[in-house]
Structure 1
Amino acid sequence: MTTSGISRRGALRMFGLGALGVAGAGALGACAPSGASSSSNGGDTKSKDFDFTSWSLNEEAAKPAIEKIIKAWEKAEGSRIRAVSYPYNEYLSQLTLKLGGGETTGAVHLDIAWLAAVAQMGKLADLSPVALKGGYTNVALDSGMYDGKQYGLPWNTGSIGVIANSKLLAKAGIKKHPTTIEEFEGALRELKGLGGGIVPYAAATKVAQLKDIFPWMQTFGCTLLEGNKVTIGDDASVDAVTWYKKLHDEKLIAADVDRFDARALFGQGKAAFYDDAIIGKGVTAAQSKDKTLADAMQPMKRPVLRTGDKPQALLWGGVIAIVKGKGQDAATQFALHATSDRATTTQYFTERALPPSTTAGLSDPKVAQDTFTTQWTEKITDTATGSPFWQFAQNAQIEEAVAKQVQAVLVGKEKPKNAMKKAAEEVTDLIKR
């Protein structure tokens, strides 16, 4: 991931502080990237006690598993960990406010999409030497890097990819997963022929989820961004959107579908393919009346334009970063333990179905015997990459700008070439702010 500084205005917008007065803006002064490496809070780095901040501690399903890790560490090390949590939708703004004010210490759980922006605040420790001890996979390590430094130890590393319903494929006479765009189109048409309201591919078509178009643009050869030059608008991106429009017009995908709609359609046996994170299996199967659906759900490599191309997928997961200052050393060892200790990561997997980030963890029998997780890691996560737009404070606005133009094409209000030209102009303006 390349470096891109966040402007003061961008930082204020990102952290939801645009309407604050001078005092509020001043409090965020430390949040602007300065390249400083001073301690975040000036506390004792050798202290055994520290905070652990995580949105998952605010979630009923996740909290018990994480508390178990915390209590085991406290007992073994004779330390005290203060658990801090905020709801996911408020987490980044709350964390950055506290971090900017020097109120956050210890270990912090970060969505990998946030790492670059938080790292630019200059408050996080470089964990490069420690990361070498963890036995992490290369993909996992990449998820915790920014500007050549390891700011996060990978906790759970997965991806967003395509899930197939093997029962529907068999019903349509499709004996193997399609591997190319041409084969994929053919399979979708066969599935449409089943009738009964089948949506062959429950692809995202609502603005809120149309960022799913990015892997398809990359499949067609668009790099999205080269340095600070936006490449959306090139022939490859136009070809991708033209293809998406064709699927829409032929009713191989449906209108007004987001992730929740896609899961519902798939759970009802009305969709053969849809995009989701690795956790999608558990969520979708649990919501379905078909108790055999889980066995029919299969990870599938995203079809490629030409045989030999690399299948595209978006990296997904979380890392644990360390704040410089009080409790830094102990928090670092805790993060290393939580993310790489085989017994700990295996237990966490059995409780939450989130794949470990280490080769040892992935090879543990309790993980390896889960065929879905093993195949997902091999077929999808292995070639997954992060979004080049994550480095910008305006990432959400960038995704929305592109999504709106793609949707305009789908509903017939814009032609693909003109829409992608507009998207490129909007994104270029956004990253300059």
Structure 2
Amino acid sequence: MNTLNRRDALRLLGLSTLGVTALAACAPDASGGAPQGDTAAKAFGFTSWSLNEEAQKAAVQAIVDGYAGNEGVKITTASFPYNEYLNQVTLKLRGGQLTGAIQLDVAWLGALAAMGKLRDLAAPAAKGGYTEVALSSGQSGGKQLGLPWTTGSIGLIANTALLEKAGVDGVPATVAEFEAALRKVAALDGVIPYAAATKAAQLKDILPWMRTFGSPLLDGDTITVGDEPSVAAVEWYKKLYDAKLIAPDVDRFDARALFAQGKAAFYDDAIIARGVVASQAPDKSLADKMAPLSRPVLKAGDSPQALLWGHVIAVVEGEGADAAADFAAYATSDTATVARFFEQVKLPPTTTAGLADPKVSGDAFTTEWTEKITKTATANPFWRYAGYAQIETAIAEQVQAVLVGDSSAKEALAKATETAKGLQK
């Protein structure tokens, strides 16, 4: 299995160090005019950050070469490091220097869609056999602007050995059961029950909990952070903090390290967690003790909350767009291709047939994650705005103020919402 370093993990989680300036540049394109070039041309470009990553480069190039050889087309590839990728794509798209297929993080699709240069891929999407949640990751403004390449989620992972040692019977299904489990784990020496994010840089992890408590976060264009459910969620988080059921100054990387050392019973991560944790763990059997679980719900019957995560392939309207769209469909929905890609890089496919292929379905952790977490995952509603990262930061900083006792949840979230309102553009 491939292992991932810190930068790989950042990339796969969509946690780039790109400034908001790149996203702000994705405003509606004022240049206007019809797309340039012959859409039926048998040559097109493919731009991808994965072609710049050692862990995935060969697997992606094999897909490119396989399609080009089968279809008799010429594909010119381009790649940029992930942390520069969005800025480069934005500038080249705006300048008319980018054609063909482009790999995109799902968090970027809405901002790039505003430039008005992406093809609607509804027709190939309808024939691809994609799961509903995967299709949703490629939608923006009522259009299917990306075909899902890999679809996953960020959710909860448990150390079943620690739960058993603490006397926790089964996996908690409700918030009340989860809190009760944390209190049992707290009796274990040297173990943090829940290595939840408490550093401001990662405190956007509170958003799925706000949804769990009933806040939509965004209703139309009205930010609902600060409503009764979101306040209740933050007050609950503060209660866990004060009771030392979660710890101060923890981010995703700290949580992974704690979990890998057997010092945390629960934490939030993406499906890449198994490989990352296994590579760090002194206990080489830890991967077998890791169990993905649906985020506990407030009351039985509620839908578990998880943040959608993944990559799509979009197509720039213009030169070679027809062949580029066909390539995007091939790369994301041809069963043999996606199963082989999973075998090489362990990123889950996006089609029903791909998930059912023995290479994928035989991987119990991936199958369980898909059923328990990704199945009900939803996009961050703030991704539609170019300033989504700043909105998340505004909320995170105010939640941090609550945790350290500088503000009440109600006052802090009201401030966060006021700041966020100015970033809705």
Corresponding residue of 1:330: 323
- Asked if residue 142 in structure 1 is aligned to residue 142 in structure 2, the reply is no
Q: Which residue of 1 aligns with 2:268?
A: 275
How many angstroms apart in 2 are the aligned matches of 1:33 and 1:250? 51
Cα distance in 2 for residues equivalent to 1:54 and 1:260: 26
1:279-326 Cα deviation digits (max 9, x unpaired): 111111112121101111111000011111111000000100000111
1:203 aligns with 2:199: no
Match of 1:230 among 209, 219, 223: 223
- Give 1:246's aligned residue: 239
- Paired with 1:181 and 1:50, the residues of 2 have a C-alpha distance of 50
Alignment of 1:284 with 2:277, yes or no, is yes
Do the aligned residues in 1 keep the contact of 2:163 with 2:265 (CA within 8 Å)?
Answer: yes
1:100 to 77, 94, 102: 94
Cα shift at 1:78: 2.0
Equivalent residue letter for 1:240: A
Distance 2:34 2:357 in 1: 40
Check whether the contact 1:156–1:317 (CA below 8 A) recurs between aligned residues.
yes
Which of the residues 55, 63, 73 maps onto 1:69? 63
Q: Give unmatched runs, 5+ long, in structure 2.
A: 1-18
Residue 60, structure 1, aligned to residue 54, structure 2 = yes
Contact 2:23 2:387 in 1 (8 A): no
Map of 1:32-43 to 2, 5 A cutoff? 32-33=28-29, 38-39=34-35, 42-43=36-37
Contact 2:215/2:229 (<8 A) preserved:
yes
- Asked if residue 121 in structure 1 is aligned to residue 82 in structure 2, the reply is no
SS at match of 2:76: strand
Give 3-state SS (helix, strand or coil) of 2:198's partner: coil
Note the C-alpha offset of 1:175.
2.6
Shift of 1:100: 0.4
Q: Against the structure 1 CA distance between its residues 220 and 328, is the aligned structure 2 distance closer, same or farther, given a 3 Å change threshold?
A: same
CA contact (8 A) 1:402 1:423 kept: yes
Q: Give the superposition deviation at 1:411.
A: 0.8
Other structure's SS at 1:113 match: helix
- Verify the 8 A CA contact 1:152 1:322 in the aligned structure 2: yes
Deviations 1:177-216 (A, max 9, x none): 1011111011001111011x20110100111111000000
Letter in 1 for 2:208: P
The aligned amino acid for 1:190 is: K
Quote the Cα distance in structure 2 between the aligned partners of 1:76 and 1:177. Answer: 48
Distance in 2 of aligned mates of 1:280 and 1:37: 45
Cα deviation 1:247-279 (Å, max 9, x = unaligned):
111111111111111100000000011101111
Which residue of structure 1 aligns with residue 301 of structure 2? 308
Change in 2 beyond 3 A, CA 1:144/1:34: farther
What stretches of structure 1 move > 3 A for 4+ residues in a row? Answer: 13-18, 33-37
**Letter of the aligned partner of 2:34 in structure 1?**
S
Within the alignment, does 1:262 sit opposite 2:255 as a pair?
yes
Looking at structure 2, the residues matched to 307 and 17 of structure 1 have their Cα atoms a distance apart, in angstroms, of: 39
Q: Structure 2 CA distance, aligned partners of 1:181 and 1:130?
A: 41
Change (3 A) 1:88 1:238: same
Match of residue 391 from structure 1 = 384
Matches within 5 A, 1:205-220: 205-220=198-213
Alpha-carbon deviations, 1:61-96, whole Å to 9, x = none?
Answer: 111110111111122122221211111111111101
Q: Secondary structure at the match of 2:38?
A: coil
> 82, 86, 91: which is aligned to 1:88?
82
Distance 1:371 1:36, change over 3 A: farther
Question: 1:308, 1:100 → 2: CA distance?
Answer: 46
Question: What CA deviation, in whole Å up to 9, does each residue of 1:149-180 have, x standing for no partner?
Answer: 11000110111100111111111111311011
Per-residue deviation, residues 326-373 of structure 1 (Å, max 9, x unmatched)? 111111111100000000000000111111100000001111111111
SS in 1 for 2:301: coil
Report the residue type matching 1:108 in the other structure. Answer: I
**SS of the residue aligned with 2:77?**
strand
Alpha-carbon RMSD: 1.5
Gaps of at least 5 residues in structure 1 are: 1-12, 19-27
Verify: 1:298 aligned to 2:294, yes or no. no
- Equivalences for residues 150-161 of structure 1 within 5 A: 150-161=144-155
Q: Deviations over 1:211-258 (max 9, x none)?
A: 000000000111101011111111111110000011111111111111
When structure 1 is superposed on structure 2, of 282-291 and 323-332 the one drifting more is: 282-291
Match of 2:147, SS state, is strand
- Distance in 2 separating the partners of 1:282 and 1:392: 32
Count of aligned residue pairs for this structure pair: 407
Aligned-residue sequence identity (percent) comes to 60
SS in structure 1 opposite 2:211?
A: helix
Name the CA distance, whole Å, in 2 between partners of 1:138 and 1:211. 25
TM-score (norm 2): 0.93
